[in-house]
Amino acid sequence: MRAAEKLFSSRGVDAVSLREVSETAGQRNNSAVLYHFKSREGLIDAILNRHADPIQARYVAQLDLLQSQGKVELRTILDVLVRPLVAKLEDADGGPEFVSISAQLTVNPTMPLFMRPAANATPGAMRIAEAMIPLISIPGELLMMHQERFSNVLYSSIVAFGRLSADNPSPAFRELFISDLVDTLFSILTAPPSPRTQGLLVEAGLA
């Protein structure tokens, strides 16, 4: 998995063969990846799960705390969502690679991130979604487009921050980034459509 993380992160999840992953991992059997993970998708899911499991556990604990304090608001939920992902940039055990691979999958036509089990079928992910859905104010007809845009902005922004923070590693800059990203994600989920977009919804037969 570590060999795959490095290769997928640096060259792209679709540009690296499973044979190359096996060779880079020092496996004499070039079919080792298929033996252990069955497919490219199986390998990617194993990578995502390796990093996502502790993050998902933190989501559950943080949401339990917010609910006990009566502070379940969209901005606070988004802050809970963002912070563990930003922290992965400092995880020497494949954290930056995980964020990079996740960002790639947000625009992958055959393995979109939101369809992977680690992103939508775990207790933490479902709790986050359940908490946010009643607080989202965009028309339902736009929800799918906003969902994909949300994921792409979330992960791509963190990848970009990883580069920016190399020149400015201060805690204040990190907090600025997190706050601004939460603002951006909040807007994606709440900004009302313009009159032109409303008109185009009608024209497309969606409203």
**Is residue 36 scored above 90 in pLDDT?**
no
Tokens of 163: 């580069």
So what's the pLDDT on residue 154?
97
Per-residue pLDDT of 131-158, as tens digits, reads 999 999 999 899 989 988 999 999 999 9
The residue to which tokens 């775990």 are assigned:
122
Model pLDDT, residue 179 = 98
Length of the chain: 207
pLDDT in tens, 74-88: 999 999 999 999 999
Domain positions in the chain: 40-203
For range 45-49, the mean pLDDT? 95
Q: How confident is the model at residue 52 (pLDDT cuts 50, 70, 90)?
A: very high
Among the listed residues 85, 65, 87, 92, the one whose alpha carbon sits nearest the alpha carbon of residue 76: 65
Q: Transcribe 55-87 into DSSP letters.
A: HHHHHHHHHHHHHHHT---HHHHHHHHHHHHHH
What is the reported pLDDT for 91? 96
DSSP for 39-51?
SHHHHHHHHHHHH
Q: What are phi and psi of 24, to 5 degrees?
A: -65, -30
What is the mean predicted confidence (pLDDT) over 13-31?
87
Within 13 A of 9's CA, how many CA atoms are on the CB side?
18
Q: For residue 192, what is the DSSP state? A: P
| Region 108-123 average pLDDT | 87
Q: Which of 30-34, 139-143, 161-165, 201-205 has the lowest mean pLDDT?
A: 30-34
pLDDT of residue 207: 74
**pLDDT for the residue numbered 117:** 87
Q: What is the mean pLDDT of the segment spanning 66-72?
A: 91
Q: Which residue has the tokens 């994909």?
A: 148
What's this model's pTM, rounded to 2 decimal places?
0.91
